[in-house]
Amino acid sequence: MSLSTAAPSLAELTTLRVGGPADAYVEATTEAELIDTIRAADDAGEPLLVVGGGSNLLVADEGFGGVVVRDARTGFERESQDACGGASVTAVGGQDWDDLVVAAVENGWVGIESLSGIPGTVGAAPVQNIGAYGQEVAGALSTVRTWDRLRGRVRTFAVGELALGYRTSVLKESMRGAPTADDPRAPWFPTPRYVVLAVTFQFRLGTLSAPVGYGELARRLGVEVGERAPQGDLRAAVLELRAGKGMLADGRFGAAPGADRDRFSAGSFFTNPVVPADQAHLLPAEAPRYPVRTAMPMTSTGPSLGVVDPTLVKTSAAWLIDHAGFAKGFGLAGAASRATLSTKHTLALTNRGGASADDVVALARVIRDGVQDAYGITLEPEPVLVGVSL
C-alpha cells in the first residue's frame, strides 16, 4: 500500500482532467489493503472516494476533503471452461475494463465485445451497468463480490440481486438512498455502500459475437440487427465508431496522449431520457425513440438482446441537445470556453485545456436549461458529481 500525503489532484485521476487535490490518497495493491483503507476511513467518519479510471467523475476545483483510494490491482482468472457451461472468469476490481474485453475476444468468450473501448475498471462496470451498442455488462455478469461498508463484511451478489437497469444497479442506488432503519448511515455518496472487490463473468464460447443489438453497428458490419458477426470484426467496428465520436480514452487506440481533446471527457455527460410509453407522444415528434430492454442475464443459448419493456420509451439526449440549438463544439464565451461540447458528439462535455470544474458545470447548466426550455425535458447527468451540482 502506498499512502501519499502529497495527494495527486483529481485532475490527474480523472479523464475530464478537472478537480483539486484530495486530503489523502491511497493506492491499494491487495484486497486486504483496500478493505483496511475503506474501513479506516469509514470508522473515522472521513468521506471516501473509491476511484477507478476516473472516467465517470466530475470533481470540484476545491478537491475532495477525504480519502481517495484507488484499487491498483489488476488480473483475471478463468475459473472453468467447457462447451456446455461456457467460461466462468473472475477479474479483480482494479482490472482495466478494455484489457478484459481484449482477452475475451481473443479467448472466444462471448458477451462483452460490444463494450469494447469503454474506459475504466471492472469494479465500476456493474455500478452503472455500463452499456453501449446494444449490449450491457448485465448480460455477462454472474456474481459481484463486494465489501459492505455498513456491515463491515464481504457480501457477494448474484446477478439477479443487483437490480440492473439502464445505467443503474443496487450498487449505484446505495450511494444516494436516504437513511433507513436497515441502513442508518446512508447516503454513502460519492462511493457506493458496496465497494466492488471482484466480478465473476459467465461467457458463452464462440468465435461469433452475441446478436448485434444496434442498427449503426449492424450496418457497419453488413449484418441485420439480431445477427452475429465475428467477434474480432465487431470489436474493430465498435472502436472505429467510437473513434469517430471521440468516445475512447486519451492516449490509447492509436492516438498519442493529448492528441484528441475530444477524448478529455467523461463520455456521455447526460443519460438518455426514459419516459413512460403512455407519455411518449409528449416527446418531440421527430425525436428518435428506442425500446428499453430488460437486462437479461446469460441464457442457455448465450446472451440475448433482452426483452423489450413495453411500458417505457427511451429518446436520445444527443438529439435533444443538437435540436435545442447546441451544435458540436458549442462553448460559452470567455474563460468558460475552455470547456465545450465535443467537436464530434453533442453528448460529451470536453476539456479543451485548462478548464476548471466550474467551467464544465457552467456549460452543463446552459445545455440542460436549453433542452428544458425547448422540450420540457430535464436531462440528468451521467457522471458522479463530487462537490459540484447542476
**DSSP notation for 89-122:** EEEETTSBHHHHHHHHHHHTEESSGGGTT--SBT
Rule CB under 6 A: is residue 316 a binding residue for ligand FAD? no
Rule CB under 6 A: is residue 128 a binding residue for ligand FAD? yes
Pairing of the two strands 274-276 and 194-205: unpaired
Q: Which is nearer to ligand FAD, 191 or 356 (CB)?
A: 191
By CB under 6 A, which span of 80-88, 126-134, 271-279, 331-339 interacts with ligand FAD? 126-134
Pairing of the two strands 22-28 and 64-71: parallel
Rule CB under 6 A: is residue 169 a binding residue for ligand FAD? no
Nearest in space to 270 (alpha carbons), one of 346, 191, 170 = 346
Give the C-alpha separation, 304 to 23, whole Å. 45
Of 37, 55, 315, 350, the one binding ligand FAD (CB under 6 A) is: 55
Give the C-alpha separation, 315 to 292, whole Å. 10
By CB under 6 A, which span of 20-28, 99-107, 121-129, 326-334 interacts with ligand FAD? 121-129
Of 38, 60, 124, 341, the one binding ligand FAD (CB under 6 A) is: 124
- Give the HSE-up count for residue 381: Cα atoms under 13 Å, Cβ half-sphere: 21
Give the distance, in angstroms, between the CA of residue 299 and the centroid of all CA atoms in the same chain: 24
By CB under 6 A, which span of 124-132, 253-261, 295-303, 306-314 interacts with ligand FAD? 124-132
100: cell is 478484459
Nearest in space to 13 (alpha carbons), one of 100, 120, 117, 115 = 120
Q: Show contacts of 324-330: CB within 8 Å, 24+ apart.
A: 324/367, 324/370, 324/371, 324/373, 324/374, 324/375, 325/370, 325/374, 326/366, 326/367, 326/370, 330/367
Q: Which is nearer to ligand FAD, 86 or 381 (CB)?
A: 381
Task: For the segment 225-284, give every residue that binds ligand FAD (CB under 6 A).
Answer: 247-249, 263, 265-267
Rule CB under 6 A: is residue 57 a binding residue for ligand FAD? yes
What amino acid positions are annotated as catalytic residues? 167, 268, 382
Least separation in angstroms between residue 385's CB and ligand FAD is: 10
Residue 106 makes CB contacts below 8 A (sequence gap 6+) with none
Name 308's bridge partners. 293
By CB under 6 A, which span of 114-122, 211-219, 223-231, 367-375 interacts with ligand FAD? 114-122
Residue nearest to ligand FAD according to CB distances in the complex: 52
Rule CB under 6 A: is residue 92 a binding residue for ligand FAD? no
Rule CB under 6 A: is residue 66 a binding residue for ligand FAD? no
Least separation in angstroms between residue 262's CB and ligand FAD is: 9
Rule CB under 6 A: is residue 118 a binding residue for ligand FAD? yes
Q: Which is nearer to ligand FAD, 50 or 100 (CB)?
A: 50
DSSP 353: S
Give the C-alpha separation, 79 to 60, whole Å. 41
Q: Which is nearer to ligand FAD, 47 or 119 (CB)?
A: 119
**DSSP notation for 254-278:** TPPTTS-GGGSB-S-SBPPPEEEGG
Q: Which is nearer to ligand FAD, 86 or 93 (CB)?
A: 93
Rule CB under 6 A: is residue 69 a binding residue for ligand FAD? no
Rule CB under 6 A: is residue 195 a binding residue for ligand FAD? yes
Of 86, 119, 134, 297, the one binding ligand FAD (CB under 6 A) is: 119
Least separation in angstroms between residue 140's CB and ligand FAD is: 14
Residues in contact with ligand FAD by the rule CB under 6 A: 15, 49-57, 71, 93, 118-121, 123-125, 127-128, 130-132, 190-192, 195-196, 247-249, 263, 265-267, 384
